[in-house]
């Protein structure tokens, strides 16, 4: 079912309506899931407006998959997420690599330094899959910016 979901755009914040469209879930369901899954904590701004980040959209897709596609109950999905956290921490203690196939791009390592607990929990939930198209887009944009900064001015004062 996740294949029928639209790709996640390369932006920093998403509104609850955008997340609902990206994950195939209504906004009231997202608000309910925030109460049931402690890992889901969108940033709130003026008027309690929720703004989700990319990793939270991925987490919502994971929760949706567990509930809708795999048939877990809320408590079962909560337990499964905790189980994933526990098993990944164990793998990390044993020195296994978490970023599968994305360790090096252009000779530069993307492997993070030892992560804080929150980032580790996100990685454990399967949210380390970096969107390569987003990385490649940002990389091209940064090279264009560098060219512009290094270019000779085209006008004289």
Helix/strand/coil (H, E, C) string of the chain? CHHHCCCCCCCCCEEHHHHHHHHCCCHHHHHHHHHHCCCCCCEEEHHHEEEECHHHHHHHHHHHHHHHHCCCCHHHHHHHHHHHHHHHHHHHHCCCCCCCCCCEECCEECCCCCCCHHHHHHHHHHHCCCCHHHHHHHHHHHHHHHHHHHCCCCCCC
Span 53-92, pLDDT tens digits? 998 998 899 999 999 999 999 999 999 988 887 887 888 7
Q: Does residue 103 lie in a domain region?
A: no
Q: Is the pLDDT of residue 12 over 70?
A: yes
- CA proximity to 21, closest of 64, 67, 55: 64
pTM higher than 0.85: no
- Tell me whether residue 153 is in a domain: no
Q: How many domains does the chain have?
A: 1
User: What is the pLDDT averaged over residues 87-108?
Assistant: 58
Task: HSE, CB side, 13 Å, CA atoms: give it for residue 145.
Answer: 6
pLDDT at 153: 62
Band (pLDDT 50/70/90 cuts) for residue 116 is very low
Q: Which domain holds residue 73?
A: 2-98+113-130
Q: Please check whether residue 152 lies inside any domain of the structure.
A: no
Q: What is the pLDDT of residue 114?
A: 40
Q: Is the pLDDT of residue 154 over 70?
A: no
Residue 68: partners with Cβ closer than 8 Å, 6 or more residues away:
1
- Whether 107 is covered by a domain: the verdict is no
- The pLDDT, as a whole number, for residue 33 is 96
Is 141 within a domain?
Answer: no
Q: Which CATH number is 126's domain given?
A: 1.10.1660.10
């Amino acid at each position: 079912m996740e294949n029928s979901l639209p790709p996640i755009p390369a932006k920093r914040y998403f509104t609850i309506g955008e997340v609902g469209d990206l994950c195939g879930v209504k906004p009231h369901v997202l608000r309910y899931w925030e109460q049931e899954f402690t890992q889901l904590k969108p940033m709130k701004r003026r008027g309690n407006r929720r703004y989700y980040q990319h990793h939270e959209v991925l987490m919502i897709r994971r929760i949706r998959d567990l509930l809708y596609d795999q048939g877990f109950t809320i408590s079962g999905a909560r337990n499964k997420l905790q189980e994933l956290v526990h098993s990944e921490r164990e793998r990390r203690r044993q020195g296994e690599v978490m970023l599968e196939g994305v360790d090096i791009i252009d000779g530069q390592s993307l492997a993070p330094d030892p992560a804080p607990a929150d980032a580790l929990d996100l990685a454990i939930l399967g949210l380390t899959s970096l969107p390569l198209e987003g990385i490649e887009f940002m990389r091209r944009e940064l090279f264009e910016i560098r060219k512009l900064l290094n270019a000779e001015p085209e006008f004289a004062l």
